[in-house]
Amino acid sequence: MTTFTPTTPSEVLSTVAWAVAEGSPLEILGHGSKRGIGRPLQTEHTLDLSKLSDVTLYEPAELVLSAKAGTPLAGIEKLLAENGQQLAFEPMDYGPLLGGEPGKGTIGGVLGANLSGPRRLKAGAARDHVLGINVVSGRGEAFKSGGRVVKNVTGYDMSKLMANSWGTLAVFTDVTFKVLPAAETEVTLAIRSLLDDAAAAAMALALGSSAEVSSAAHLPERIAARVASGSLGSEAATLLRVEGFGPSVAYRIAALKTLLGNAGPLEEIGGEVSRLIWRDVRDCRPFADGSEKPVWRISMTPSQSHQMVLTLRMQAAVSAFYDWQGGLVWLRMEQGDPEAALLRGLLRKHGGGHATLVRAAPSHRAALPVFEPQPPALAALSVRLKQEFDPKNIFNPGRMA
């Protein structure tokens, strides 16, 4: 068991070249904050990228930042905040949910897991903001794709191919992201006491208006109490976030209040409490209970999700809450059984999508497909891509299987 800790891209290249020549698989690791996601790995060696760490380019006026793959996300976010900027896709922190510390994770991990947050609805995910990458493939070849400019259609977008590949296609050495101005003001409008179906209707109405709602979540009764240190109380809360320049935010919040006046009791939440609520929704804090109870992350058609959850409740005890207007469902299985076949069957009946078992005991993760199984033609295509880039199955073998 050897842990390689390269400090330069060329050291990454020579480590991978060695592993390829030896046919010796590597676990690709940053801070390990998402290590518990995917099928458990049994590699002899580990490639630890946490010492490959540096912001190599940051030009606020050009809205671009490049960093070595192992650069801590927290440091990048701090640097951006000092300049009134942010990663607009608001990458989530899996640490608390998976029983780790908050504030860990590297920029390479952000791309490898295609992270996003409540602003996904309006601003996209890591895939939508990555501009370029330097990587080392499982053939021991260092290559680049993309660049540092936003408008670029020169060749295939390999950066997107590598997003969400969970370290199974290539090792990132450098990544370049588009950065954006942080909003001057944020206000959250909460509609209280709605049941899931009424919340779905209210969120659809809000998102279909010109109020430019940047995030829409529904926390059912009892879940609501588990964000922002309980400051929401326990009544169900349907949350709409509006961001931008002060006068515009005030106008749009007023427009939403008029639009949703009949939906239920309304509350306006600003400042630090609003930020804490969305951080906790982003990081799935309501289920960060220190347990190993299975937690699913389900991406699906927004209007269908509450119906699927209702049907599921007839057969299993679950806790659920919704982000992305209902397009993201966080689901905790209260009896300890992941019920993968039941859940995925229901998902197919409700418009399709994908369900990822983001938290489960290693025995469950070893026995079940953690990532959504693909239809045969698509699965075969993914296998062919894996063979092109990592023919000897050196990188995180089996993690996405």
Partner 1 sequence: MSGLAMPKPDDATMRRRDEIVADMRIIVPGEGVVDAANSMRAFESDGLTAYRQLPLVVVLPQTVAQVSRVLKYCNDRNIRVVPRGSGTSLSGGALPLEDAVLLVMSRFNRILGIDFPNRVVVAQPGVTNLGITTAVEQEGFYYAPDPSSQIACSIGGNVAENSGGVHCLKYGLTANNVLGIEMVLMNGEVVRLGGSHLDAEGYDLLGVMTGSEGLLGVVTEVTVRILKKPETARALLIGFPTSEQGGQCVADIIGAGIIPGGMEMMDRPAIHAAEDFVHAGYPLDVEALLIVELDGPGVEVDHLIGLVEAIAYKNGSTTCRISQSEQERLSFWAGRKAAFPAVGRISPDYYCMDGTIPRKELPRVLAGMRELSEKYGLGVANVFHAGDGNLHPLILYDANVPGELDKAESFGADILRLCVKVGGVLTGEHGVGVEKRDLMPEMFTQIDLDQQMRVKCAFDPNHLLNPGKVFPQLRRCAELGRMHVHRGQVAFPDIPRF
By CB under 8 A, residue 104 contacts partner 1: no
- Tell me the two tokens of residue 26: 């590597």
124-132, 266-274, 279-287, 330-338 -> range binding partner 1 (CB under 8 A)? 124-132
Residues 219-238 that bind partner 1 (CB under 8 A): none
Provide the minimum distance between the beta carbon of 262 and partner 1 in the complex, in angstroms, as a whole number: 18
Closest approach, Cβ 17 to partner 1, in A, equals 6
Half-sphere exposure of 15 (CA within 13 A, CB side): 26
**Least distance (Å) between residue 167 CB and partner 1:** 12
Interface with partner 1 (CB under 8 A), residue from 185, 193, 248, 307: 248
Q: Does 257 bind partner 1 (CB under 8 A)?
A: no
| Binding of residue 64 to partner 1 (CB under 8 A) | yes
Exposed/middle/buried for residue 74 (C-beta within 10 Å: 0-12, 13-18, 19+): middle
Query: Shortest Cβ distance from residue 313 to partner 1 (Å)?
Result: 21
82 or 290, CB closer to partner 1? 82
- Interacting positions 150-189 with partner 1 (CB under 8 A): 150-158, 160-161, 163-165, 169, 180-182, 184
- Taking CB under 8 A as the rule, does residue 54 contact partner 1? no
Query: Residue 361, SS3?
Result: coil
Q: Residue 337 corresponds to which amino acid? A: D
User: From edge to edge, which strands make up the β-sheet containing 142-146?
Assistant: 55-59, 64-68, 170-178, 130-137, 142-146
Residue 161's identity, in one-letter code, is L
Distances (CA, A) of 122 to 114, 215, 246, 389: 16, 7, 19, 32
User: Does 17 interact with partner 1 (rule: CB under 8 A)?
Assistant: yes
CA separation for the pair 174, 145 (Å, rounded): 11
Residue (12 or 224) nearer to partner 1, CB: 12
Q: What is the DSSP letter of 5?
A: -
Sole binder of partner 1 in the list 54, 56, 81, 84 (CB under 8 A): 84
Contact call for residue 82 and partner 1 (CB under 8 A): no
Which residues in the 297-326 window bind partner 1 by CB under 8 A?
299-303, 324
* Nearest of 327, 356, 347, 359 to residue 119 by alpha carbon: 327
Q: Which long-range contacts (CB under 8 A, 24 or more apart) does 206-209 make?
A: 206/240, 206/256, 206/259, 206/260, 207/121, 207/325, 209/255, 209/256, 209/259
- The least distance separating partner 1 from the CB of residue 32, rounded to whole angstroms, comes to 18
Q: Which residues on adjacent β-strands are paired with residue 288?
A: none
- Residues in 197-216 that interact with partner 1 by CB under 8 A: 204, 207-210, 212
Cβ closer to partner 1: 52 or 224?
Answer: 52
Q: Is 125 in the site for partner 1 (CB under 8 A)?
A: yes
d(C-alpha 170, C-alpha 401), whole Å:
16
In the complex with partner 1, the residue whose CB is nearer, 251 or 273, is 251
Binding-site member from 54, 56, 81, 143 for partner 1 (CB under 8 A): 143
Q: x-or-dash pattern for partner 1, window 350-379, by CB under 8 A?
A: -xxxx----------------xx-xx-xx-
